[in-house]
Amino acid sequence: MARENIYQEEEFPSPLMQLWYNFKKNPMVMLAFGSYLALAILAIFSPILTPFSSSQSHLEYILLPPAWNDDGNVSFLLGTDKLGRDILSMLMHGASFTFGLSFIIVIISAVIGVLIGSLSALTSGFKSSFLNHFLDVILSIPSLLLAIVIVAILGIGLSNTVLAIIIVLIPQFIHITKNEVKKEFSKDYVLASKLDGASPLRLLRYSIFPNIIERVITQATLAQSAAILDIAALGFLGLGAPSEIPEWGAMLSNGVDLFYIAPWTVYFPGLAILFTVIATNLVGEGLRHALKQRKVY
Amino acid sequence: MLIFTLRRLNLFIFTLIVLTALSFSLSFLFPGDALINLTGQVNATPEQRLLLIEEYKFNSNIFQQYWAYLSHLFDGDLGVSIASHLPISSEIMNLLPATIELSVVALIIAMVVGIPLGFIAAVNHEKFADNTILFVSMLGYSIPIFWLGLLAILIFSIELGWLPSAGRLSLVYEIEPITGIQFFDILMSNSEYKWQAFQDATLHIIMPACVVAMAPMTTFIRLARTSMMEVLESSYIKAAKAKGLTFWQIIHRHAIRNALVNVIRYVGLRFANLVTLAMVTEVIFSWPGIGRWLIESIFQRDYTAIQGGLLALSSFIFIVHILSDFIYAALNPLAREHNHGA
């Protein structure tokens, strides 16, 4: 980077700050980031924020259309479902299941995947080749099929779905960590500390992890959007959340029977999933772009 | 090329071993009796059971059990379905072609639409067309597939009434299944109403295939865009420019071919994802494929079916994976050389 600064003092922002400056340049990405934070807040505080309890049924208001419809009622802004539950409250509460759980899933699988991936990057020869082939096999099984098999073993239910998706996501993290660590290992700065006598584990901890953590985070946002879609898909197929839990996919499948009478019970959960996945993807995209920009300098 | 082939063959054999070991171990992991899960014989009498134990070597060690399972697999014997008591292998032979048909048509749609769009985006880099295409691809990538399917049914089947919403073929037509791939069967049959049946089958497949194709299409847009942008920055394009070729000549003769090679490389990798989407779509559109059957098997606790389906579907995906690797290697000599531990 050419220095054309006339000031005596020079201050270079830390890599993280550089990333943030690049990240916040794009208004679309910032909008998505705001939505992402709002969803996170909603996921944590939804029991306090919802206008009604998500399981409370208002028997006098069954299948009420949204408030802007002539038959709507403004206290049920997005209408009610076939049991008279308020859809807005269910959607808000559902954020903690679909969005919140996806967050937890990604963190757990990222930690496990990064640990296994970085340790496996230290191996070579037969062990490494065996692991490579094994990962290839696991990655070639469709994620939903793997999740179905795991649900078949453990039984149907939300917690089992979560476990299944964690297991499905781990190989992706192993794969990316392994590739990144291998790439870093061949660089000179690692060689330098190796010559200083650092053990492989120390190399990983102090030299390599700080350099690959951002790429892992980028992968994590991608994995999160996949996790949201998977939770919702399994909920929709009836393998995940039971219908009394306001998970968005399960809500959608509840509404399917009444699709032609009460289309809003299908529209809104679908829109909620779409919105959340777009926000997550845009944040990931922005991160990736910011990382690429930072590398240019 | 020979070494490349041997390496792939090695990978293929390894994969089959891992997959069969996985499916074998599932019979112990699933709830219930391992022998019943493996064979599907729920109502076996004690004598039959003794016979099965003998046949599957359940009285000796685990490796002999696995070997017995493998030899059954090689005979095409995957046990019988716990729910329907039909042999799993015949069920799979009926259902897998429908899934293959759906996913291949979807793959073709995704490639035919996605790759040109990606090229257009790359050529107009950071202009209006590029941004629009990227925005649409972000939308298509994020949309939940089951929701898209329901909306498509609502719009095209219910409101407009253009396309049928369920099944593969109207019940009016009677087509003898020969290959299982409906289009080939129709063409091979000697029915008078061949062409009507063909049209009907086409109408049936359009909507589910487009729904499945949506997400892979956006991946192809991205891949094509990145690969085209890389190619456009390379030196041989600069040389062609210096030679005085017009922009379209460069794109036609030099850029598209080289960019396509890189896209083809990823077809195999994306295929597993596409099959996942096809499985959900089969449920929504009542497509008689293996995905719907597998999901129903969970509710019926048909563990033999899940094992067999896992084996069949994953081997199919792996075969596509390896085929696309071969096509890539045939097109790109650089890929044949140093490709260790792929």
Residue type at A175 in one-letter notation: H
- Residue A14: inside a domain, yes or no? no
Q: Which residue has the higher pLDDT, A230 or A53?
A: A230
Does residue A73 belong to any structural domain of this protein?
A: yes
Question: Given a cut of 60, is residue B338 above it in pLDDT?
Answer: no
Whether A101 is covered by a domain: the verdict is yes
pLDDT at A297 over 70: no
Q: What is the pLDDT of residue A7?
A: 65
How large is the ipTM? 0.83
What does pLDDT average to over chain B? 83
pLDDT of residue B106: 93
Q: How far apart are CA A54 and CA A94, in angstroms?
A: 9
Pick the residue from chain A with its C-alpha nearest to B308: A149
Same domain membership, residue B165 and residue B70: no
Mean of the pLDDT values across residues A42-60?
82
- Give the model confidence (pLDDT) of B244-262 as tens digits: 888 888 888 888 888 888 8
Same domain, B54 and B179: no
Domains in chain B: how many in total?
Answer: 2
Q: Say yes or no: B178 and B317 in one domain.
A: yes
Q: What's B143's DSSP letter?
A: S
Identify whether B3 is part of a domain: no
**Cβ contact (<8 Å) for B147 and A134?**
no
B39, part of any domain: yes
**Listed residues B36, B55, B80: the one ending a domain:** B80
Same domain, B161 and B59: no
The one-letter code for the residue type at B333 is P
What integer pLDDT is reported at residue B108 of this predicted model?
Answer: 92
Do A267 and A274 meet the contact criterion of CB atoms below 8 Å apart?
A: no
Work out the percent of chain A whose per-residue pLDDT is above 70.
96
* 3-class DSSP state of B291: helix
Asked if B186 and B230 sit in the same domain, the reply is: yes
- For residue A105, is pLDDT > 70? yes
Read off the pLDDT of each residue in B38-61 and give the average, rounded to a whole number.
79
Is pLDDT above 70 for A296?
A: no
Which residues, at least 6 apart from B212, have a Cβ–Cβ distance to it below 8 Å? B102, B103, B106, B145, B274, B277, B278, B281
For residue B341, the chain A residues in CB contact (below 8 A) are 128-129, 132-133
Q: Which of A136, A259, A281 sits opposite B142 (nearest CB)?
A: A281
- Answer whether B279 sits within 8 Å of A128, measured CB to CB: no
Average pLDDT over residues A34-43: 92
Q: Comparing A116-120, B32-36, B202-206, which segment has the lowest mean pLDDT?
A: B32-36
A227, B122 contact by CB (below 8 A): no
Whether B146 maps to a domain, the answer reads: yes
Contact A270 B318 (CB under 8 A): no
**What ranges in B165-302 are assigned the alpha helix state H?**
182-188, 194-232, 235-243, 247-249, 256-284, 290-299
In a domain, B9, yes or no: no
> What is the distance between the alpha carbons of residues B251 and B237, in angstroms, rounded to a whole number?
9
Residues B45 and B193 in one domain: no
Residues of B engaging A, defined by a Cβ cutoff of 8 Å: 11, 14-15, 18-19, 26, 29-31, 138-139, 141-147, 150-151, 154, 158, 272-273, 275-276, 279-280, 283, 294-295, 297-299, 303, 306, 309-310, 313-314, 317-318, 321, 341-342
Note the pLDDT tens digit of each residue in B142-155.
898 889 998 888 88
CB contact under 8 A, B279 and A136: no
Residues B76 and B99 both lie in one domain: no
Closest Cβ opposite residue A153 in set B19, B29, B342: B29
With 70 as the cut, is the pLDDT of residue A155 above it? yes
A256 contacts on B by Cβ (under 8 Å): 150
Cα A78 from Cα A271, distance rounded (Å)? 12
d(CA B207, CA B157): 9
Out of A52-66, A152-166, B105-119, which region has the weakest mean confidence (pLDDT)?
Answer: A52-66
My answer on whether B214 and B106 are in the same domain is yes
For chain A, the domain total comes to 1
Exposure letters B224-234 (e unless 16+ CB within 10 A, then b):
bbbbbbebbee
Q: Which domain holds residue A186?
A: 26-50+61-293
Amino acid identity for residue B259 in this structure: A
Average confidence score pLDDT of chain A? 85
Say if residues B309 and B290 touch (Cβ distance below 8 Å). Answer: yes
In chain B, residues with a C-beta closer than 8 Å to the C-beta of A266 are: 147, 150
Instruction: Tell me whether residue B308 is in a domain.
Output: yes
Hey, what long-range contacts does A133-139 have (CB within 8 A, 24 or more apart)? A133/B11, A133/B14, A133/B15, A133/B18, A133/B341, A134/B18, A135/A171, A135/A174, A135/A175, A136/B11, A136/B15, A136/B342, A137/B14, A137/B15, A137/B18, A137/B19, A137/B314, A137/B318, A138/A171, A139/A171, A139/A172, A139/A175, A139/B272
Residue with tokens 């922009």: B247
- Specify the pLDDT at position A6: 66
Confirm if B124 and B130 have CB atoms less than 8 A apart. Answer: yes
For residue A67, is it within any domain? Answer: yes
pLDDT at A5 over 70: no
SS3 B341: coil
B10 domain-assigned:
no
pLDDT number for residue A102: 92
pLDDT tens sequence across B219-240: 899 888 988 888 888 888 888 8
Last residue of a domain, one of B80, B106, B126: B80
Does residue B48 belong to any structural domain of this protein?
A: yes
Residue B337: its pLDDT value, please?
A: 63
On whether residue A15 sits in a domain, the answer given is: no
What is the rounded distance in angstroms from the CA atom of residue B42 to the CA atom of residue B271? 35
Give B68-109 pLDDT, tens digit per residue.
Answer: 888 888 887 878 888 888 888 888 888 888 898 899 999 999
Q: How far is B302 from chain A (nearest CA, A)?
A: 9
On whether both B205 and B277 belong to a single domain, the answer is yes
Eight-state DSSP code of residue B181: -
Instruction: Tell whether A236 is covered by a domain.
Output: yes
Nearest-10 crossing angle of helices B303-331, B290-299: 150
Question: Which pLDDT belongs to residue A40?
Answer: 92
B87 within a domain of the structure (yes/no): no
- CB atoms < 10 A from the CB of A297, how many? 7
CB contact under 8 A, A270 and B150: yes
Range of the structural domain that residue B39 is part of? 20-80
Instruction: List the CATH number of the domain containing A88.
Output: 1.10.3720.10
Q: Does a structural domain hold residue A33?
A: yes
Same-domain pairing of B178 and B112? yes
Q: Would you call B80 helix, strand, or coil by DSSP?
A: strand
Which residues in chain B have their CB less than 8 angstroms from residue A144's CB? 276, 279-280
Chain A interface disruption, residue of B11, B19, B92, B146, most A CBs within 10 A: B146
Please check whether residues B122 and B226 belong to one and the same domain: yes
Q: What is the mean pLDDT of residues A34-41?
A: 92
Is A141 close to B141, i.e. CB distance below 8 A?
no
What pLDDT was estimated at residue B342? Answer: 41
Do the Cβ atoms of A142 and B294 come within 8 Å?
no
Q: Would you call A232 and B144 a contact, using CB atoms and an 8 Å cutoff? A: yes
For the stretch B160-186, pLDDT in tens is 878 887 777 777 777 777 777 777 777
Note whether B67 and B130 are same-domain residues: no
Span A249-262, average pLDDT:
85
pLDDT at A44 over 60: yes
- In order, the DSSP letters of chain A are ------SS---PPPHHHHHHHHHTT-HHHHHHHHHHHHHHHHHHHHHHH-SS-TT-B-TTSTTPPPTTSTT--TTSTT-B-TT-BBHHHHHHHHHHHHHHHHHHHHHHHHHHHHHHHHHHHH--THHHHHHHHHHHHHHHS-HHHHHHHHHHHH-SSHHHHHHHHHHHHHHHHHHHHHHHHHHHHTSHHHHHHHHTT--HHHIIIIIIHHHHHHHHHHHHHHHHHHHHHHHHHHHHHTSSS-TTS--HHHHHHHHHTTTTT-THHHHHHHHHHHHHHHHHHHHHHHHHHHHHHHHH-
In a domain, A9, yes or no: no
Structure tokens at A291: 């990382």
On whether the CB atoms of residues A294 and A215 are closer than 8 A, the answer is: no
